[in-house]
Amino acid sequence: MEAAFYDGNGQMIIQQHPDPVAAEGDAIIQVKATGICGSDLLMNNDKEEADELPAGHEVTGIIVDVGAAVDREIVGKRVAIETIGQGLACSTCWYCRMGQYRQCQNKVQAEGGGFAEYIKRKAIGCYEISESMTWDEGALVEPLAVSIHGIRRGMMNGGETVAILGAGTIGLTAVVAAKQLGAGKIFVTARHEQQAAMALSLGADYTCSPEGEEFENLVRSHTNGRGADLAVETVGGKSNRTLIQSVESTRMQGRIVILGGFRTPLQFDWLAPLLKEQSIIFSSCYGILDGYHDYEMAINLLSNQSNSLSDIVTHKYPLEEIQQGFECAYDKSTGSIKVQIHQD
Residues 6+ apart with CB under 8 A from 321: none
| Shortest separation between residue 169's beta carbon and Zn ion, angstroms | 8
- For residue 339, the cross-strand partners are 315
Q: Are 173 and 337 in contact (CB under 8 A)?
A: no
CA-based Rg of the chain, rounded to a whole angstrom?
A: 20
Stretch that binds Zn ion, among 95-103, 226-234, 262-270, 319-327 (CB under 5 A): 95-103
Query: Taking Cα atoms as reference points, which of 317, 311, 343 lies closest to residue 140?
Result: 311
d(CA 185, CA 163): 8
92 and 76 in contact (C-beta within 8 Å)?
Answer: no
Listed ranges 11-19, 93-101, 202-210, 324-332: which one lies at the site for Zn ion (CB under 5 A)? 93-101
Is 280 an interacting residue with respect to Zn ion (CB under 5 A)? no
Q: Segment near Zn ion (CB under 5 A), from 1-9, 35-43, 202-210, 326-334?
A: 35-43
* Residue 104 in the binding site for Zn ion (CB under 5 A): yes
Going by C-alpha positions, the residue among 19, 2, 68, 10 that lies closest to residue 41 is: 10
Stretch binding Zn ion (CB under 5 A), from 38-46, 65-73, 154-162, 236-244: 38-46
> With binding defined as CB under 5 A, does residue 89 bind Zn ion?
yes
Does position 90 bind Zn ion by CB under 5 A?
yes
Cβ(322)–Cβ(341) under 8 Å?
A: yes
How far CA 137 is from CA of 114, 243, 252, 270, 319, in Å, comes to 15, 31, 37, 39, 18
* Spatial distance between the Cα atoms of 294 and 156, rounded to a whole number of angstroms: 15
- Kindly state whether residue 177 participates in binding Zn ion, applying the rule CB under 5 A: no
43 binds Zn ion, rule: CB under 5 A: no
Is 254 buried (19+), middle (13-18) or exposed (0-12) by CB count in 10 A?
A: buried
Binding mask 178-207 for Zn ion (x = CB under 5 A): ------------------------------
Distance, C-alpha 77 to centroid of its chain? 23
Closer residue to Zn ion, CB minimum distance, 96 or 228: 96
Q: Which residues pair with 118 in a beta bridge?
A: 30
Instruction: Give me the least distance between CB of 233 and Zn ion, in Å please.
Output: 15
161 vs 173 by CB, closer to Zn ion:
173
Binding residue count for Zn ion, defined by CB under 5 A: 7
Shortest approach of Zn ion to residue 51 CB, angstroms?
Answer: 16
Contact segment (CB under 5 A) with Zn ion among 31-39, 151-159, 175-183, 308-316 equals 31-39
- Asked whether position 96 contacts Zn ion by CB under 5 A, the answer is yes
Q: Quote the least distance from Cβ 220 to Zn ion, whole Å.
A: 31
In the complex with Zn ion, which residue's Cβ is closer, 94 or 292?
A: 94
Options 28, 37, 80, 219; binder of Zn ion; rule CB under 5 A: 37
Residues 6 or more apart in contact with residue 124 via CB below 8 angstroms: 25, 86, 91
Piece of 83-91, 157-165, 202-210, 272-280 that binds Zn ion (CB under 5 A): 83-91
Is 299 within 8 Å of 133 (Cβ atoms)? yes
Interface residues with Zn ion (CB under 5 A) are 37, 39, 89-90, 93, 96, 104
